[in-house]
Amino acid sequence: MSAIQAASKRPVIAITPGEPAGIGPDLMALLDYDEGADWVCVADPDLLDDRARLRGRPRHWPRYAPGVHGPSVLPVALARRATPGVPDPANADYVLSCLRRATEGCLAGEFSALITGPVHKAVINEAGQAFTGHTEFLAHAAGVTEVVMMLAAGSLRVALVTTHLPLTMVPAAITAARLDAALDILDAALTRDFGLVRPAIMVLGLNPHAGEGGHLGHEEIDIITPAVKRAQARGIRAVGPVPADTAFVPARLAQADVVLAMYHDQGLPVLKAQGFGGGVNVTLGLPFPRVSVDHGTALDRAGTGPVDTGSMVAAMTLAKALSCRHARP
């Protein structure tokens, strides 16, 4: 926490709205901002003004400066004016510039947490910018080699060993080192940031029926089971590998604080089916809290369509709570 934040006792939280043609700017216009924190929208002020007018919610956005309370805007200019619902590759660098500025502020202690709105990965890559996702971008920017992506909806938490990879690349990416790091990061973050005492981590298998004793794959025998045993020897409450098709039944979930899935679409469909629109995405292992909405750019709703602010409100609530926990000496 910076000297200014420490003096005011208010977290200063950066928000990047994400894809300018998407729903992110609409959320900025429609939110009722919690007065217990200072919210800094790192974005083009004209974009926010345009979207607020379209939504019939014109609002005054003070320019960000240390000590300015309430919502404010830290200006980053668009390359071209955004049209709701029509992504423009010319604005890809704008999206990344907003992220860079917000990340730099978090690393410098200017901001106490980061909330990210949804981005359009394909548009960024079409513009010639290699981008696989927020998680990987922020880890690189922070100089961190290992982070863990975790989504939460109510009491259900699902973390991932691998994130945005083609399915054919997943088995090779599940290494002993990556599993060890994921289990350590999960245990530490759930203890410090979520207040859990010896959190229970249910580790899924990669293959159907967790490999069926080697008849449906050897990753469980060769890599996952040894990693679980090493974690147990380090005092971590890890169990598994558990077959993914029965891991999410209520009786099993009741015994776990988090499910560690091997790949993106192994665990997240269940979580999103249970809590889509009210869940959040958290990056564990960064030197600052990062929280995101659990939905995409919703291009068809930008500007005029129906908007559900539930996920962004949940992200803001969690970011503020994590800011306070990170600020503890």
Residue 185: give its domain's CATH number.
3.40.718.10
Structural domain including 133 reads 1-144+307-317
Q: Specify whether 120 is located in the same domain as 65.
A: yes
- Inside any domain, residue 294: no
Q: What is the pLDDT, as a whole number, of residue 327?
A: 58
Residues 6 or more apart whose CB falls under 8 angstroms from that of 149 comprise 135, 159, 160, 163, 281, 282, 283, 284
Residues 1 and 101 in one domain: yes
Q: Are residues 115 and 155 in the same domain?
A: no
Indicate the annotated binding residues for substrate.
134-135, 272, 281, 290
* 34: confidence class by pLDDT, cuts 50, 70, 90: confident
Is the alpha carbon torsion for 265, 128, 48, 106 positive or negative? positive
Task: Note the pLDDT of residue 67.
Answer: 83
List binding-site positions for a divalent metal cation.
164, 209, 264
- Distance of alpha carbon 25 from alpha carbon 312, whole angstroms: 12
How sure is the predictor about 60, in pLDDT bands with cuts at 50, 70 and 90? confident
Check whether residue 137 and residue 172 sit in a common domain. Answer: no
Q: Give pLDDT tens digits for 259-311.
A: 999 999 999 999 888 876 678 999 999 999 999 998 899 999 999 888 889 99
% of the chain residues with pLDDT over 70: 96
Q: How far, in Å, CA of 14 to CA of 72, rounded?
A: 10
Is the residue at 325 inside a domain? no
Total domains in the fold of the chain: 2
- Indicate whether 129 belongs to any domain: yes
- Residue 164 to residue 147: CA distance in whole angstroms: 13
Judge contact between 117 and 293, C-beta under 8 A.
yes
Residue 281, domain member (yes or no): yes
Instruction: Give the annotated binding-site residues.
Output: 134-135, 164, 209, 264, 272, 281, 290
Q: What is the mean pLDDT of residues 315-321?
A: 93
